[in-house]
Structure 1
């Protein structure tokens, strides 16, 4: 019997989390069975329980990981201030993001299912989305980010809903126009209440 180093187990676990996150966003949580998730990770079904107590455990972990990655790679790496906010909005409401579910935002891909998940999963989502939102709020109101938290959450909701609706439309012209209008609406929300 081959014994693996602790790093190997940790790397394997992370591979499962990352591939599950992409599969969940692509196909949905309910439509993604353990066997498919493990096949995506290049592992057998039997290896699953060496890393997770249940599929719910993996869902919770994958959602938290997806939000952490989004906060680190999208929000934290955007330009400072208003320019960074516009960069985030334009990238989020782009045809590229719309057309790449598996690589995109977990909010737009999974909100409807997260709302029906366990309390543990919903708490992991809440914790992760607040990190994301707080990063946006810090750009909205650097002097008092807490005062902009609800506005930042509203911005995320506007963007996620617009992206979801654009993904659902079969009329590509209308879907593109919706993204463009979403950008205008999001930028107007950012500017609402600002001194000129």
Structure 2
């Protein structure tokens, strides 16, 4: 029997989390069984329990990791208010809409996360609030708490806009929904930053 080192185990765990995150966003949590997830990672089903206690444990971990990646993505935009508009436009773009496996876990999974167990909901909440706090600090660097609720509602608006755009059969209407979502989000965020 071959024993692998700690680094190998960590790399394997990371691979499972990354491939699961993409699969969950593409096919949903319920539509992604452990066998499929492990096959995506190039592993056998038996290896799963060496890394996770349950599928729910993997879901919580993958969602947190996906949101951590989204938080890192936010840092790619210019700091302060200057980065907000390109951030909103990129989020509410046809490219993001058309590639859910590469995008926001909230827009892809929110309807399923609300049915997950409390540890997954808590992991999601903690990760989302970190994103919200980062954006609030851009808008109101001296008092981020003053705009936190507005930023959270704009985040919800953007998620809903992206979900609706993904669900519409009429491509032109779907694009119009994205454009209006951009205008709505920027109007609210601009008002928040002027406080």
Bin of the TM-score, shorter chain as denominator length: over 0.9
Report the TM-score when normalising by structure 2. Answer: 0.97
Q: Does 2:135 align with 1:136?
A: yes
Deviation at 1:83, TM superposition (A): 1.7
Q: Does 1:150 align with 2:123?
A: no
Q: Distance in 2 between matches of 1:17 and 1:194?
A: 36
In structure 2, the residue matched to 1:4 is 4
Q: Structure 2 matches for 1:1-196, cutoff 5 A?
A: 1-73=1-73, 75-195=74-194
Residue 179 of structure 1, CA deviation: 0.5
Q: Which moved more, 1:41-50 or 1:80-89?
A: 80-89
Query: Could you tell me how far 1:191 is from its partner in structure 2?
Result: 1.6
* Aligned counterparts of 1:161 and 1:90: Cα–Cα separation in 2: 15
The C-alpha deviation readout for 1:19-70, integer Å capped at 9, x for no partner, is 0000000000011000000000000011000000100000010011011110
* Helix, strand or coil at the partner of 1:192: helix
Partner SS for 2:153:
helix
Q: Counterparts of 2:131 and 2:192 in 1: how far apart (Å)?
A: 22
Aligned residue for 2:159, secondary structure, equals helix
Find the residue that maps to 1:42 and give its secondary structure.
Answer: coil
Shift of 1:88: 1.0
**1:59-110, Cα deviation, whole Å (9 max, x unpaired):** 010011011110012x222111222111110000000000001000001001
Runs of 4+ in 1 over 3 A off after TM superposition: 193-196
Supply the RMSD in Å over aligned alpha carbons. Answer: 1.1
Q: CA deviation at 1:137?
A: 0.5
Where 1:142 maps in the other structure, the secondary structure is coil
CA distance in 2, matches of 1:126, 1:180: 28
Q: 1:194 Cα deviation (Å)?
A: 4.9
Say if 2:158 and 2:181, in contact at 8 Å, map to a contact too.
Answer: yes
Q: Are the structure 2 counterparts of residues 184 and 12 from structure 1 closer, same or farther at C-alpha, using a change threshold of 3 Å?
A: same
SS of residue paired to 1:77: coil
Listed as ranges, the gaps of 5+ residues in structure 1 are: none
Q: Normalized against structure 1, the TM-score is what?
A: 0.97
Change (3 A) 1:143 1:88: same
Matched pairs, number: 195
8 Å CA contact 2:150, 2:192 repeated in 1: no
